Structure 1
Amino acid sequence: MAELKAGALLLVSREASVQFVKPFNFRLIRVLDWITYDGWTWLDGYQLDKRGDAVARRSIFVMRHGLRAGSIPSPRPRRTSSADSAVRGTRRPARSRQPSVVIDERRH
C-alpha cells in the first residue's frame, strides 16, 4: 500500500476498486475524512495523463490496500536549438544574402 499524504503519486487500478478498469496515475491532494466501510477511503486529487499533467480533478472511493505508488516517465531530452548551439560555439555561419536587384555600375 502506498503512503497517503498530500502530494503522493498513486497508481489507481482495479485492485483499488472494480470501477477502475484502466489504471491511471493520481496526485493526491488530501484524504477526505468521510465515514466509510472499513478499509475504504475517499481521496481528493488529480487524475494525470501519461506525461504527468493533470487532466481532471476527482474524488475517488478506493480500498487502501489496492493503491500502489505511481510513476511518471522522466521527460525526454529536448532538442537543442540554434541559440543553444551558439552558446557552445557550434553554430554554423549564416549564409550571406545576395541582393535582389542587380545594379549596373557601367552607366555613364
Structure 2
Amino acid sequence: MVPKPGDVLLIDGRASVQFAGDRALRLRVIWVCERPTYRGWCWVTGYCLDADGNASERREVFVRVAGLQKLLPRGRAGRPVQPWANRKVRTRGV
C-alpha cells in the first residue's frame, strides 16, 4: 500500500527499525516523495498525532512500504469515521 495525502498511518518497527517498541508513531500523511529510492521504501512527510488526534509535530520519515499500517481516521468524538453512515439508501421501485 503506497500512502497518499490524508492517510493516517501507524509507523512502527515493521516500517523501520528506528520506530520499534515505544518509538512507534501515528502520522497523518501530507506528502509522499516520488523520487526513486531503494525498492520498497519511500519518504513520507506528515504530522505526528497525539492521543487526541491533534497534530503535534511535522516529520519526514524514510519507511518500508510493506510495513506501513493504515489506520481509520477518528472523528471528533474519538470514534472511527464512517463515511457511508450518513448516506441515504435509494431503492428503485419494482
Mark yes or no: TM-score above 0.5: yes
TM value normalised by structure 2: 0.70
* 1:15 and 2:14 aligned: yes
Aligned residues: 75
Q: Secondary structure at the match of 1:19?
A: helix
Give me the whole-angstrom Cα distance separating, in 2, the residues matched to 1:72 and 1:41.
Answer: 22
Which residue of the partner structure matches residue 64 of structure 2? 63
Deviation at 1:73, TM superposition (A): 5.9
CA displacement, residues 48-72 of structure 1 (integer Å, 9 cap, x when unaligned): 1111111110110000000001246
Structure 1: give runs of 5+ residues left out of the alignment. Answer: 77-108
Asked if the contact 1:51/1:72 (under 8 Å) is kept, the reply is: no
Q: Secondary structure at the match of 2:30?
A: strand
- Structure with greater proportional strand content: 2
Give me the whole-angstrom Cα distance separating, in 2, the residues matched to 1:15 and 1:34.
Answer: 22
Q: How does 1:48-87 map to 2 (within 5 A)?
A: 48-71=49-72, 75=77
Give me the whole-angstrom Cα distance separating, in 1, the residues matched to 2:6 and 2:73.
Answer: 14
Describe the shift of the 1:31–1:73 C-alpha distance in structure 2 as closer, same or farther (beyond 3 A). Answer: closer
Cα RMSD, aligned residues only? 1.8
Structure 2: give runs of 5+ residues left out of the alignment. Answer: 79-94
Could you tell me the percent identity over the aligned residues?
A: 40
